[in-house]
Amino acid sequence: MNGSILEAKDTCYAYSKKGPKVLDCICINIHKGVRSALLGANGAGKSTLFSVLNALYKPEKGTILFDGQPLSYRHKGILKMRAQVSILFQNPNDMMFKPYVEQDVAYGPENLKLPKEEVEKRVEDALFAVGMQDFRKQPIMKLSYGQRKRVTLAGVLAMRPSVLIMDEPTAGLDPQMAYEVMEIADQLHSSGVTVIMSSHDTNLTYAWADEIHVLHGGKCIYSGAPEPFYDDHRLAQKAGLLQPHVFQMNKTLSENGKMELLPYPKTQTQMAVKMANCGDRDFGSLHIVKVTEGVDPSTVIAEKGLQDTPKGLFGLSARGAHDKYGFSVDYLYNGPENCIMNCLSGKDSVLICDPLMLDKAESSADFINSNRYGRIDVDVI
């Protein structure tokens, strides 16, 4: 297991001296470089814990450690920590400080006293990452809720944190934007950022998280891999959580003798191929085109004779290349899974991919091949 990056030790917090404890001697350890999900029903203490971990609230008891050291609540200590730990709140209106988009995104980097050129570069990169580069001069008040959420995410990305805390990042978003946010979370994780996310969507977090932490009544009642928690129906029910659909289907089919319990599928694609279990059958091939600076991916695709093959995008540099060169794609969102689904029908797919995201792009193909549910040839170009 990776070392600790954020830790709460016997931490208590209440919003008033006579009020109930929202955090009741909670102990939780967030590991460096691990995709962690914080789960629990409304009122379990998730948002409060995030605010305590980010030093927005000072606990009345207990200790918060960042990278093994107790947090300093002096002004300089808090600024130093927040330069590395950023938080994205659920309600974008709680995070907007300036009247115009580019001003709001620049707010954090300017407070770090960065050079003007560096601030402008960070604003440009962050707005592109969330698809809001065409709105940089727009007044905040004219944006929709979803657009405001994109802007607040851009403001967090502009800080270039080593730890990103995301409180219900997909709440209130349309499905495509939700996929885009999860892709950004994966991009950050691939670049070395520790990402911590809360969500009520157990299907989303089950497919994404390496480790979960479950809160109930201000305490952490479970930390670890998702499967043992969801396998304990009483514990999940106590926490007010539902089993993820993929987990529940896999468990039911294994109990009925239709297939083995292990390995656990994480996505609908993996569940579908495990159910089909086609053995030695060859599916379509997955051609992954790594994005190279200054090279139009469509040129590479044409050289390989794949120009008529369905195409998907995955990762920031892939989206940057699409924006720059304007080539057509079939799957703008959830590219890897859509391409794999296409392969399962016997057709080839092309995934235009950020080089940092190769392991995630290949994960479902690896699941299929290593468990001999069929064969998808992966060709990295």
- Whether residue 178 lies inside any domain: the answer is yes
Residues written for the chain: 381
Q: How many domains does the chain have?
A: 2
- Whether residue 271 lies inside any domain: the answer is no
Q: How far apart are CA 355 and CA 188, in angstroms?
A: 13
CA 245 from centroid of its chain's CA atoms: 19
Averaged pLDDT, 55-59:
93
Q: What is the pLDDT of residue 77?
A: 87
Q: What is the pLDDT of residue 177?
A: 85
Query: Which residues span the domain enclosing 67?
Result: 4-238
Residue 2, pLDDT above cutoff 90:
no
Widest distance between CA atoms in the chain: 71
Q: What is the pLDDT of residue 328?
A: 95
**83 and 229 belong to one structural domain:** yes
**23 and 149 belong to one structural domain:** yes
Q: What is the pLDDT of residue 1?
A: 54
The three-point CA angle 22-24-27 to 5° equals 120
pLDDT tier at 18, thresholds 50, 70, 90: confident
Question: Of 210, 238, 266, which residue sits at a domain end?
Answer: 238
One-character DSSP codes across 285-323: -EEEEE--TT--HHHHHHHTT-TTS-EEEESHHHHHHHH
**46 and 173 belong to one structural domain:** yes
Residue type, 267: T
Averaged pLDDT, 107-132:
92
**What are the pLDDT digits (tens) for 187-230?**
999 999 999 999 888 999 999 999 999 999 999 999 999 999 99
Q: Domain with 20 in it: what CATH number?
A: 3.40.50.300
Nearest partner of 183 among 168, 163, 204, 167, judged by Cα:
204
- Whether residue 265 lies inside any domain: the answer is no
**196 and 295 belong to one structural domain:** no
**What are the pLDDT digits (tens) for 124-174?**
999 998 889 999 999 999 999 889 988 999 999 999 999 999 999 998 888
CA 102 from centroid of its chain's CA atoms: 24
Q: How far apart are CA 101 and CA 292, in angstroms?
A: 30
pLDDT tier at 261, thresholds 50, 70, 90: very high
**167 and 225 belong to one structural domain:** yes
- Whether residue 281 lies inside any domain: the answer is no
pLDDT tier at 375, thresholds 50, 70, 90: very high
Q: Is the peptide bond before 263 cis (omega within 30 degrees of 0)?
A: yes
Cβ neighbours of residue 269 closer than 8 Å, sequence gap 6 or more: 337, 340, 341, 344, 364
- Whether residue 251 lies inside any domain: the answer is no
- Whether residue 157 lies inside any domain: the answer is yes
pLDDT tier at 80, thresholds 50, 70, 90: confident
**DSSP strands (E only) in 67-199:** 69-70, 85-88, 163-167, 194-198
Q: Which two tokens stand for residue 100?
A: 């115009």
Averaged pLDDT, 238-242:
95
Q: What is the pLDDT of residue 161?
A: 94
**71 and 162 belong to one structural domain:** yes
**226 and 326 belong to one structural domain:** no
Q: Which two tokens stand for residue 347?
A: 């057709």
Q: What is the pLDDT of residue 194?
A: 96
Question: In what helix (H) or strand (E) does residue 238 lie, and over which residues does it extend?
Answer: helix 233-238
Rg, the chain, Cα only: 22
**75 and 163 belong to one structural domain:** yes
Contact status, residue 278 vs residue 374, Cβ threshold 8 Å: yes
DSSP secondary structure code for residue 134 in this structure: G
* Sign of the alpha-carbon dihedral angle for 243, 262, 28, 193: negative
3-state secondary structure of 90: coil
**43 and 190 belong to one structural domain:** yes
**176 and 74 belong to one structural domain:** yes
Q: What is the pTM (predicted TM-score) of this model? A: 0.93
Phi and psi for 31 in degrees, rounded to 5?
-90, 140
**What are the pLDDT digits (tens) for 271-284?**
999 999 999 899 99
**What are the pLDDT digits (tens) for 305-314?**
999 999 999 9
Q: How far apart are CA 81 and CA 161, in angstroms?
A: 10
**75 and 211 belong to one structural domain:** yes
pLDDT tier at 365, thresholds 50, 70, 90: very high
Contact status, residue 39 vs residue 239, Cβ threshold 8 Å: yes
* Averaged pLDDT score across all residues of the chain: 94
Question: In what helix (H) or strand (E) does residue 220 lie, and over which residues does it extend?
Answer: strand 219-224
Q: How far apart are CA 198 and CA 208, in angstroms?
A: 12
* Sign of the alpha-carbon dihedral angle for 348, 350, 355, 359: negative
